Amino acid sequence: MLTDPDDYLRRLDQAASAVSKKISSSPLVGLILGSGLGDFLDELAGNLSVSYSEIPHFPRSTIVGHAGNLVFNSIASMPWIAMQGRVHYYEGYAITDVVFPVRVLARLGIQKLIVTNAAGGINRKFQPGDLMVIADHINLMATNPLLGRNLDPFGPRFPDMSEAYSRNFRQLACAVALERKINLQEGIYVGLAGPSYETPAEIRMLATLGADAVGMSTVPEVIAANHAGIKVLGISCITNMAAGILDKKLDHAEVMETTTRVKDKISSLLRGVLDRLATGAEV
Ligand code: HPA
Protein backbone atom coordinates (compact mmCIF):
# COMPACT_ATOMS: atom_id res chain seq x y z
CA MET A 1 0.00 0.00 0.00
CA LEU A 2 1.17 3.53 -0.71
CA THR A 3 2.69 5.09 2.37
CA ASP A 4 3.61 8.38 0.72
CA PRO A 5 1.35 9.05 -2.28
CA ASP A 6 2.79 12.50 -2.93
CA ASP A 7 6.29 11.10 -3.16
CA TYR A 8 5.00 8.33 -5.46
CA LEU A 9 3.42 10.94 -7.75
CA ARG A 10 6.69 12.88 -7.78
CA ARG A 11 8.62 9.75 -8.74
CA LEU A 12 6.13 9.02 -11.52
CA ASP A 13 6.59 12.54 -12.87
CA GLN A 14 10.37 12.25 -12.79
CA ALA A 15 10.28 8.91 -14.62
CA ALA A 16 7.77 10.13 -17.23
CA SER A 17 9.71 13.33 -17.89
CA ALA A 18 12.98 11.40 -18.30
CA VAL A 19 11.31 9.19 -20.94
CA SER A 20 9.54 12.03 -22.71
CA LYS A 21 12.87 13.84 -23.15
CA LYS A 22 14.08 10.86 -25.19
CA ILE A 23 11.06 10.30 -27.44
CA SER A 24 9.80 12.47 -30.26
CA SER A 25 6.05 12.28 -29.68
CA SER A 26 3.48 11.13 -27.20
CA PRO A 27 2.65 7.40 -27.56
CA LEU A 28 -0.96 6.42 -28.12
CA VAL A 29 -0.57 2.71 -27.50
CA GLY A 30 1.45 0.91 -24.83
CA LEU A 31 2.51 -2.73 -24.89
CA ILE A 32 3.68 -4.88 -22.01
CA LEU A 33 5.54 -7.88 -23.32
CA GLY A 34 5.88 -10.78 -20.91
CA SER A 35 8.40 -13.63 -20.53
CA GLY A 36 10.17 -14.18 -23.84
CA LEU A 37 7.41 -12.38 -25.73
CA GLY A 38 9.28 -9.16 -26.46
CA ASP A 39 11.68 -10.39 -29.09
CA PHE A 40 9.53 -9.47 -32.05
CA LEU A 41 10.40 -5.84 -31.47
CA ASP A 42 13.97 -6.58 -32.49
CA GLU A 43 12.77 -7.21 -36.06
CA LEU A 44 11.34 -3.71 -36.48
CA ALA A 45 13.31 -0.89 -38.02
CA GLY A 46 13.54 2.48 -36.34
CA ASN A 47 13.17 1.39 -32.73
CA LEU A 48 14.38 3.76 -30.06
CA SER A 49 15.30 1.75 -27.01
CA VAL A 50 15.72 3.08 -23.49
CA SER A 51 17.02 0.79 -20.76
CA TYR A 52 14.98 0.75 -17.55
CA SER A 53 18.23 1.55 -15.76
CA GLU A 54 18.22 4.97 -17.45
CA ILE A 55 14.77 5.84 -16.09
CA PRO A 56 14.66 7.12 -12.52
CA HIS A 57 12.66 4.94 -10.08
CA PHE A 58 11.75 2.38 -12.76
CA PRO A 59 11.58 -1.14 -11.27
CA ARG A 60 13.72 -3.81 -12.89
CA SER A 61 12.94 -7.49 -13.34
CA THR A 62 15.12 -10.14 -11.78
CA ILE A 63 13.74 -12.99 -13.92
CA VAL A 64 15.42 -14.88 -16.77
CA GLY A 65 13.69 -14.04 -20.06
CA HIS A 66 12.69 -10.54 -19.03
CA ALA A 67 14.68 -7.85 -20.76
CA GLY A 68 14.39 -4.38 -19.34
CA ASN A 69 13.84 -1.84 -22.09
CA LEU A 70 11.25 0.67 -23.14
CA VAL A 71 11.03 0.60 -26.93
CA PHE A 72 9.50 3.49 -28.79
CA ASN A 73 8.46 3.46 -32.45
CA SER A 74 5.51 4.27 -34.70
CA ILE A 75 3.41 2.50 -37.28
CA ALA A 76 1.64 4.56 -39.92
CA SER A 77 2.35 7.65 -37.83
CA MET A 78 0.77 6.13 -34.72
CA PRO A 79 3.40 6.31 -31.95
CA TRP A 80 3.55 3.36 -29.55
CA ILE A 81 5.75 2.39 -26.66
CA ALA A 82 6.56 -1.14 -25.50
CA MET A 83 7.87 -2.51 -22.26
CA GLN A 84 10.23 -5.37 -22.97
CA GLY A 85 9.97 -7.10 -19.61
CA ARG A 86 7.96 -6.35 -16.49
CA VAL A 87 8.24 -6.83 -12.76
CA HIS A 88 6.07 -9.20 -10.77
CA TYR A 89 4.57 -9.03 -7.31
CA TYR A 90 6.35 -12.30 -6.38
CA GLU A 91 9.73 -10.63 -6.91
CA GLY A 92 9.07 -8.78 -3.71
CA TYR A 93 8.05 -5.43 -5.19
CA ALA A 94 5.27 -3.51 -3.56
CA ILE A 95 2.12 -3.82 -5.64
CA THR A 96 2.29 -0.07 -6.32
CA ASP A 97 5.78 -0.56 -7.78
CA VAL A 98 4.47 -3.37 -10.00
CA VAL A 99 2.11 -0.86 -11.62
CA PHE A 100 4.59 2.03 -11.60
CA PRO A 101 5.57 1.44 -15.27
CA VAL A 102 1.99 1.34 -16.53
CA ARG A 103 1.36 4.62 -14.72
CA VAL A 104 4.43 6.12 -16.37
CA LEU A 105 2.93 5.08 -19.72
CA ALA A 106 -0.36 6.65 -18.64
CA ARG A 107 1.51 9.87 -17.84
CA LEU A 108 3.09 9.75 -21.29
CA GLY A 109 -0.41 9.74 -22.74
CA ILE A 110 -1.24 6.18 -23.81
CA GLN A 111 -4.94 5.54 -24.26
CA LYS A 112 -4.69 1.89 -25.18
CA LEU A 113 -2.70 -0.92 -23.63
CA ILE A 114 -1.83 -4.35 -24.99
CA VAL A 115 -0.70 -6.77 -22.29
CA THR A 116 0.82 -10.17 -22.94
CA ASN A 117 1.76 -12.92 -20.55
CA ALA A 118 2.68 -16.56 -20.21
CA ALA A 119 -0.02 -18.66 -18.58
CA GLY A 120 -0.85 -22.23 -17.68
CA GLY A 121 -3.84 -23.73 -19.47
CA ILE A 122 -6.67 -24.85 -17.21
CA ASN A 123 -9.25 -25.31 -19.95
CA ARG A 124 -8.73 -28.85 -21.29
CA LYS A 125 -9.51 -27.72 -24.82
CA PHE A 126 -6.31 -25.68 -24.79
CA GLN A 127 -2.88 -26.89 -25.84
CA PRO A 128 0.57 -25.55 -25.01
CA GLY A 129 1.41 -23.00 -27.70
CA ASP A 130 -2.16 -21.69 -28.00
CA LEU A 131 -2.83 -17.98 -27.75
CA MET A 132 -5.81 -16.80 -25.69
CA VAL A 133 -7.44 -13.41 -25.84
CA ILE A 134 -8.38 -12.51 -22.27
CA ALA A 135 -12.12 -11.94 -21.92
CA ASP A 136 -11.93 -11.07 -18.22
CA HIS A 137 -9.87 -11.79 -15.15
CA ILE A 138 -10.21 -13.06 -11.59
CA ASN A 139 -7.95 -11.37 -9.07
CA LEU A 140 -6.70 -13.96 -6.58
CA MET A 141 -3.48 -12.12 -5.77
CA ALA A 142 -4.90 -11.09 -2.41
CA THR A 143 -3.93 -7.50 -3.06
CA ASN A 144 -4.89 -4.55 -5.23
CA PRO A 145 -2.64 -1.80 -6.64
CA LEU A 146 -5.25 0.83 -5.76
CA LEU A 147 -5.11 0.19 -2.01
CA GLY A 148 -4.37 3.31 -0.01
CA ARG A 149 -5.16 6.94 -0.78
CA ASN A 150 -6.69 7.33 -4.22
CA LEU A 151 -4.45 8.90 -6.85
CA ASP A 152 -6.99 11.44 -8.07
CA PRO A 153 -4.88 12.63 -11.04
CA PHE A 154 -5.19 9.09 -12.45
CA GLY A 155 -8.76 8.09 -11.78
CA PRO A 156 -11.66 7.59 -9.37
CA ARG A 157 -11.69 5.87 -6.00
CA PHE A 158 -13.94 3.04 -7.20
CA PRO A 159 -13.16 2.36 -10.85
CA ASP A 160 -15.57 0.30 -12.92
CA MET A 161 -14.16 -3.06 -14.01
CA SER A 162 -17.14 -4.35 -15.98
CA GLU A 163 -15.24 -4.21 -19.26
CA ALA A 164 -11.69 -4.52 -17.97
CA TYR A 165 -10.67 -5.99 -21.33
CA SER A 166 -12.25 -3.95 -24.12
CA ARG A 167 -14.88 -5.77 -26.14
CA ASN A 168 -13.83 -3.83 -29.24
CA PHE A 169 -10.21 -4.88 -28.82
CA ARG A 170 -11.19 -8.51 -28.30
CA GLN A 171 -13.15 -8.43 -31.54
CA LEU A 172 -10.28 -6.71 -33.26
CA ALA A 173 -7.82 -9.39 -32.09
CA CYS A 174 -10.18 -12.14 -33.28
CA ALA A 175 -10.50 -10.44 -36.69
CA VAL A 176 -6.71 -10.16 -37.03
CA ALA A 177 -6.28 -13.81 -35.98
CA LEU A 178 -8.79 -14.94 -38.60
CA GLU A 179 -7.12 -12.88 -41.30
CA ARG A 180 -3.67 -14.22 -40.39
CA LYS A 181 -4.88 -17.81 -39.85
CA ILE A 182 -3.89 -17.81 -36.18
CA ASN A 183 -5.91 -20.05 -33.91
CA LEU A 184 -7.01 -17.76 -31.05
CA GLN A 185 -8.74 -19.06 -27.92
CA GLU A 186 -10.74 -16.80 -25.63
CA GLY A 187 -11.06 -17.16 -21.89
CA ILE A 188 -10.77 -16.01 -18.29
CA TYR A 189 -7.34 -15.37 -16.79
CA VAL A 190 -6.87 -15.87 -13.08
CA GLY A 191 -3.96 -14.06 -11.46
CA LEU A 192 -2.23 -15.56 -8.42
CA ALA A 193 0.71 -14.14 -6.50
CA GLY A 194 3.03 -17.13 -7.14
CA PRO A 195 5.93 -17.81 -7.34
CA SER A 196 5.22 -21.49 -6.65
CA TYR A 197 3.12 -23.05 -9.35
CA GLU A 198 -0.34 -24.19 -8.30
CA THR A 199 -1.14 -27.58 -6.85
CA PRO A 200 -3.48 -29.88 -8.79
CA ALA A 201 -6.14 -29.27 -6.13
CA GLU A 202 -5.82 -25.51 -6.63
CA ILE A 203 -6.14 -25.97 -10.38
CA ARG A 204 -9.34 -28.00 -9.91
CA MET A 205 -10.65 -25.19 -7.69
CA LEU A 206 -9.71 -22.54 -10.26
CA ALA A 207 -11.48 -24.55 -13.00
CA THR A 208 -14.61 -24.61 -10.83
CA LEU A 209 -14.33 -20.85 -10.40
CA GLY A 210 -14.48 -20.43 -14.17
CA ALA A 211 -10.83 -19.79 -15.01
CA ASP A 212 -9.35 -20.93 -18.33
CA ALA A 213 -5.75 -19.90 -17.74
CA VAL A 214 -3.59 -19.06 -14.73
CA GLY A 215 -0.63 -16.76 -14.33
CA MET A 216 1.28 -14.50 -11.96
CA SER A 217 1.07 -11.12 -13.68
CA THR A 218 -1.22 -8.82 -15.70
CA VAL A 219 -4.02 -8.36 -13.14
CA PRO A 220 -2.35 -5.45 -11.28
CA GLU A 221 -1.41 -3.64 -14.50
CA VAL A 222 -4.90 -4.08 -15.91
CA ILE A 223 -6.48 -2.71 -12.74
CA ALA A 224 -4.16 0.33 -12.85
CA ALA A 225 -4.87 0.84 -16.56
CA ASN A 226 -8.62 0.70 -16.03
CA HIS A 227 -8.27 3.14 -13.14
CA ALA A 228 -6.55 5.53 -15.54
CA GLY A 229 -9.24 5.11 -18.21
CA ILE A 230 -6.99 3.14 -20.57
CA LYS A 231 -8.60 0.51 -22.81
CA VAL A 232 -6.95 -2.91 -22.55
CA LEU A 233 -6.29 -5.87 -24.80
CA GLY A 234 -4.82 -8.94 -23.07
CA ILE A 235 -3.21 -11.91 -24.78
CA SER A 236 -2.03 -15.00 -22.92
CA CYS A 237 0.40 -17.46 -24.37
CA ILE A 238 -0.54 -20.87 -23.00
CA THR A 239 2.95 -22.14 -22.30
CA ASN A 240 2.03 -25.33 -20.46
CA MET A 241 -0.99 -27.18 -19.16
CA ALA A 242 -1.62 -26.27 -15.52
CA ALA A 243 -0.61 -28.61 -12.69
CA GLY A 244 -2.36 -31.96 -12.57
CA ILE A 245 -3.87 -31.74 -16.05
CA LEU A 246 -1.07 -33.77 -17.60
CA ASP A 247 1.01 -36.34 -15.77
CA LYS A 248 4.14 -34.20 -15.71
CA LYS A 249 5.90 -31.62 -13.61
CA LEU A 250 5.97 -27.90 -14.40
CA ASP A 251 9.10 -25.90 -14.92
CA HIS A 252 10.12 -22.45 -16.09
CA ALA A 253 12.22 -23.95 -18.90
CA GLU A 254 9.07 -25.32 -20.55
CA VAL A 255 7.47 -21.87 -20.27
CA MET A 256 10.46 -20.30 -22.01
CA GLU A 257 10.61 -23.02 -24.70
CA THR A 258 6.96 -22.58 -25.60
CA THR A 259 7.23 -18.80 -25.84
CA THR A 260 10.17 -19.25 -28.20
CA ARG A 261 8.13 -21.68 -30.29
CA VAL A 262 5.15 -19.30 -30.63
CA LYS A 263 7.18 -16.13 -31.11
CA ASP A 264 6.23 -15.76 -34.75
CA LYS A 265 2.54 -16.34 -34.08
CA ILE A 266 2.27 -13.76 -31.31
CA SER A 267 4.42 -11.29 -33.27
CA SER A 268 2.10 -11.61 -36.24
CA LEU A 269 -0.97 -11.09 -34.05
CA LEU A 270 0.49 -8.05 -32.28
CA ARG A 271 1.69 -6.57 -35.53
CA GLY A 272 -1.77 -7.03 -37.08
CA VAL A 273 -3.45 -5.44 -34.07
CA LEU A 274 -1.06 -2.45 -34.13
CA ASP A 275 -1.69 -1.99 -37.86
CA ARG A 276 -5.43 -1.92 -37.32
CA LEU A 277 -5.17 0.47 -34.37
CA ALA A 278 -2.99 2.73 -36.51
CA THR A 279 -5.64 2.90 -39.21
CA GLY A 280 -8.40 3.48 -36.66
CA ALA A 281 -10.09 0.23 -37.68
CA GLU A 282 -11.07 -0.80 -34.18
CA VAL A 283 -14.11 1.40 -33.63
N1 HPA B 1 0.87 -21.29 -13.48
C2 HPA B 1 1.10 -20.01 -13.14
N3 HPA B 1 1.77 -19.17 -13.91
C4 HPA B 1 2.23 -19.62 -15.08
C5 HPA B 1 2.03 -20.93 -15.50
C6 HPA B 1 1.30 -21.82 -14.65
O7 HPA B 1 1.08 -23.01 -14.95
N8 HPA B 1 2.61 -21.05 -16.72
C9 HPA B 1 3.16 -19.85 -17.02
N10 HPA B 1 2.92 -18.97 -16.04
Give pLDDT tens digits along the chain (283 positions). Answer: 788 899 999 999 999 999 999 998 999 999 999 867 767 777 777 788 999 999 999 998 776 656 789 999 998 889 999 998 899 999 999 999 999 999 999 999 999 999 999 999 999 999 999 999 999 999 999 999 999 999 999 999 999 999 999 999 999 999 999 999 999 999 999 999 999 999 999 999 999 999 999 999 999 999 999 999 999 999 999 999 999 999 888 888 888 888 888 888 999 999 999 999 998 876 4
* Given the residues 78, 91, 123, 173, the one annotated as active site: 91
Domain assignment present for residue 82? The answer is yes
What is the reported pLDDT for 138? 98
What's the number of domains the chain is made of? 1
Question: Using CA atoms, how far apart are residues 132 and 213, in angstroms rounded to an integer?
Answer: 9
Using a 6 Å CB cutoff, which residues line ligand 1?
A: 118-120, 197-198, 214-216, 239-240, 242, 250, 255
What is the reported pLDDT for 165? 98
Map residue 243 onto helix, strand or coil.
Answer: coil
What is the reported pLDDT for 255? 83
Query: Given the CA of residue 121, which atom of ligand 1 is nearest to it?
Result: 7
What is the reported pLDDT for 141? 98
Let me know if 240 is a catalytic residue: yes
What is the reported pLDDT for 77? 87
Could you tell which of 239, 248, 252, 259 is best to mutate to test the pocket of ligand 1, judged by most ligand atoms within 8 Å of the CB? 239
Query: Which residue lies with its CA nearest to atom 2 of ligand 1?
Result: 215
What is the reported pLDDT for 43? 73
Let me know if 35 is a catalytic residue: yes
Let me know if 216 is a catalytic residue: yes
Of the chain, the end-to-end C-alpha distance in Å amounts to 36
Domain assignment present for residue 69? The answer is yes
Domain assignment present for residue 124? The answer is yes
Of 222, 63, 203, the C-alpha closest to 126 is 203
Asked whether 216 and 192 are in contact (CB, 8 A), the reply is yes
Query: Which residue lies with its CA nearest to atom 6 of ligand 1?
Result: 120
What is the reported pLDDT for 63? 66
Peptide bond between residue 195 and the one before it cis (omega within 30 degrees of 0): yes
Give the range of the structural domain holding residue 10, as residue numbers without chain letter: 5-278
CATH assignment at residue 115: 3.40.50.1580
Distance (angstroms) between ligand 1 centre and the Cα of 127 equals 13
Let me know if 196 is a catalytic residue: no
What is the reported pLDDT for 89? 96
What is the reported pLDDT for 257? 85
Domain assignment present for residue 283? The answer is no
What is the reported pLDDT for 204? 98
The residue type at 260: T
